[in-house]
Every structure is written in structure tokens, then in C-alpha cells.
Amino acid sequence: MPKIERRQETTPALLPAGSQPAGQLARRPWRTLLPSWWFALNGLSAVLTGVGWWTQVRAPGATGNVNALFIHTTLETFLTYCGLAAVVAGALLNVAAQLVQYRTSAAEISSRERELADREARLADREDEIDRQQTELADVMRALEEQILLSKVVLRPLIGTLISLGSLDPMTLPDDQKTLPAQLYGQALVTMQSGIVEYLGGSVSDVRVIYWQVEGRAPHRLLRAIDKRGERKKPSLVMREGDNARGDEAFRALDAKQPRIWHLGEDGAPYAWNKRKVWKAFAALHVSGEEGDVFGMVTIDSPDCEAITEDHVRTAQVIADAFAATCANYARFADYPTA
């Protein structure tokens, strides 16, 4: 089965235009990593610091007094304190710039972490989608394999037998070929039974498939098990109809012409199918002609109570329908010998 390979990196289809792959931060020129206000604040801080130091350097030796508002001191002292204030202001501006830049960087990092988390989540969703597609592909491949098996192993041989049987004319058939219709019918019966067993063999073990032929008229019909030669099984296996006989539920399913499944202990399960308490799941398939003729019933038994599913029964009914066409053709040779 083809396997879809996973890619560890995020595919371009999942990312917005211009964005980086998951797990990578965008690379930008260093000048764009810092906002313009950071340069302004730090530039002003440098200017104030420089002016402050220059003022303090020039303050010693200054002569004169300063008398303005509430300030009354010598010019040397005034310049010294002004320089010191400028240095402190420059330092505070620098600290403020670094603090704001730190908080801005933290917010940007948090935003990028969220972006990375979102991308990883999208990548995880993509992997889940790949897993779902793989499961769907496996189901499709399995269904194709079943169809190929059904066509190659069962339907094609049944159609071949049907064509061979249909080409025979009861009025012109030579005496040395009188047993040929029975032989073809027996081949179709074996193909049908072995085909159902092989179809279910991959998921259901120890399957038993029996063809039951309808005999008699309602309300006293019976279903009799037929062997691979088209003859009655010995010892005979029979399910009878009427008077609450143990085959009534089987006949109801047969008359309804609908596949049905029973399980061990279920009300109405045909008792005749499980005299030895070996089987725990039973499926019934009708073998009916297009004109309403009922030829018999195919039963599938399994020791596993949950083994036979509705899907199994639907596919097996297709095989039973193909066998019903053979039975309709074989009915033309009812007076011919079986061996």
C-alpha cells in the first residue's frame, strides 16, 4: 500500500505569505530590531550625560554668583550641581529606555512564541489529516482487494459456469452428457461456498458455509442441507416450517428475502443451526430468482459471536445472488440425473 511520508518542516501551503517556517524567528537587519524612540532616548541620555560631565569639568575655577529666584550660590557650585543633575537625568533616561525596551522585547518574544505555538498546532492538525488520509486510503485499498478477490475467485467462475449451463439445451443434450448440468451445478455450489469462506477468511476464522435447499410447499416446507455434489447431506440436516418448529425464523428470513444475522442466545435464533452449541453467530442469505422463485438459503456460521458483520453479509449476498442465477438455469434440467 502506498505510504504518505510525513515531513517534519511546515509546508509553505500552511503559512501566510512572507512568514517563516515553524521553529524559526524572522531575521531582520539589526537597525530594525530597535525602535526609533530607543535611539532618541539613548541619544538624549548621552547628550545630557556629556553636558553634565563637561559642566562639572568646567565648574572649578568659575567666578561669580548666581542670584535667580530662590537660587543664591556661587557660579562654581551652581555649575557643579547642574552637571550632576544632567548626568543623573541622562542615567535615568538610559535606564528608562532599557526598561521599556526590555518590556517591548518580552512582549515581542511572547507574541512570537504564540505564533510558533499556532504553527505547531497547524502542523499537528496537518499530521492528523495525513493520518486520516492514510486510514481512508487503507480502507479504499482493502475494499479494492476485496472486490478483486470477489471478482477473480468467485464471480468470474460463477459467471463462467452460468454461461456454460445456459448454453446447454435440454432438448438436444446427448445422452452421454446428461450428467453435465449436475456437474456444472455442483461446481457452482462449491465455488459459492469456498468463495464465501475465502472472502471471510481474512477476518473470520473457522467459518462454516452450508447451502440449504427448499423442499415442499408452505406452510410445511423444509430446508435440507445439500453437499458439494448437489445431493442431500448424510446424515441429513433439516430445518422444518410450521407448528413453531425450530426452523420458523429461518423461513421468515428467507421469505423476506433480506440477509439476517443471529447471535447465540438471541430470541428466535434457529435452534437447528447449533445443536452442539459450537456456533455463536449465524447469518442467513436468500437464494432467490428474479421471478420470485426461492431456491434455498445459504448460512454462514462462526464460533466468534462478533465476527460476522453487516458488511460481510452484504458482500456474501452478492455471491448468493450470482449462485441463484445458476440455480434458475439448473432448474431446466430438473429431470436429469445428478450423477
Q: How far apart are CA 245 and CA 182, in angstroms?
A: 32
Whole-number pLDDT of residue 13: 45
Q: Considering the chain, what is the average pLDDT of its residues? A: 77
Q: What nine digits make up the cell of 211? A: 447451502
Would the pTM count as exceeding 0.85? no
- Overall average pLDDT of the 300-310 stretch: 84
Lowest mean pLDDT among 118-127, 202-211, 303-312: 202-211
Whole-number pLDDT of residue 123: 92
Q: Where are the domains of the chain?
A: 27-141, 168-333
Question: Is it the case that residue 260 has pLDDT exceeding 70?
Answer: yes
Q: What are the pLDDT digits (tens) for 203-212?
A: 556 788 889 8
Q: What are the pLDDT digits (tens) for 36-86?
A: 766 676 777 777 778 777 776 767 766 666 677 677 677 677 777 777 777
Whole-number pLDDT of residue 53: 72
Q: What nine digits make up the cell of 276? A: 452442539
Question: Is it the case that residue 245 has pLDDT exceeding 70?
Answer: no
- To the nearest 10 degrees (0 to 180), the angle between helices 180-201 and 75-149 is 160
Fold for the domain defined by 168-333: Beta-Lactamase (3.30.450)
Q: How far apart are CA 39 and CA 29, in angstroms?
A: 15
- Paired with 247 in beta bridges are none
Whole-number pLDDT of residue 216: 86
Whole-number pLDDT of residue 254: 87
Whole-number pLDDT of residue 286: 92
What's the pLDDT band for 34 if we cut at 50, 70, 90?
low
Matching residue, cell 511546515: 10
Query: Is residue 261 within 8 Å of 273, Cβ to Cβ?
Result: no
Q: Measure the CA angle with vertex 55, ends 49 and 61; round to 5°.
A: 155
What's the pLDDT band for 275 if we cut at 50, 70, 90?
low
Q: What are the pLDDT digits (tens) for 2-15?
A: 444 444 444 444 44
With left for phi above 0 and alpha for psi between -120 and 50, is residue 187 left, alpha or beta? alpha
Q: What nine digits make up the cell of 295? A: 431456491
pLDDT over 90, % of the chain? 7
Q: How far apart are CA 62 and CA 67, in angstroms?
A: 15
What's the pLDDT band for 33 if we cut at 50, 70, 90?
low
What's the pLDDT band for 333 if we cut at 50, 70, 90?
confident
- Overall average pLDDT of the 290-307 stretch: 85
Select from 114, 134, 113, 126 the least CA-distant residue to 14.
Answer: 126
What's the pLDDT band for 24 if we cut at 50, 70, 90?
very low
DSSP letter assigned to residue 246 = T
Q: How far apart are CA 213 and CA 295, in angstroms?
A: 6
Whole-number pLDDT of residue 235: 60
Whole-number pLDDT of residue 35: 65
Question: Is it the case that residue 122 has pLDDT exceeding 70?
Answer: yes
Q: What are the pLDDT digits (tens) for 148-196?
A: 767 777 788 888 888 888 888 888 888 888 888 888 888 898 888 888 8
Collapse the DSSP code of 174 into the 3-class scheme (helix H, G, I; strand E, B; otherwise coil) and give the result: coil
What's the pLDDT band for 202 if we cut at 50, 70, 90?
low
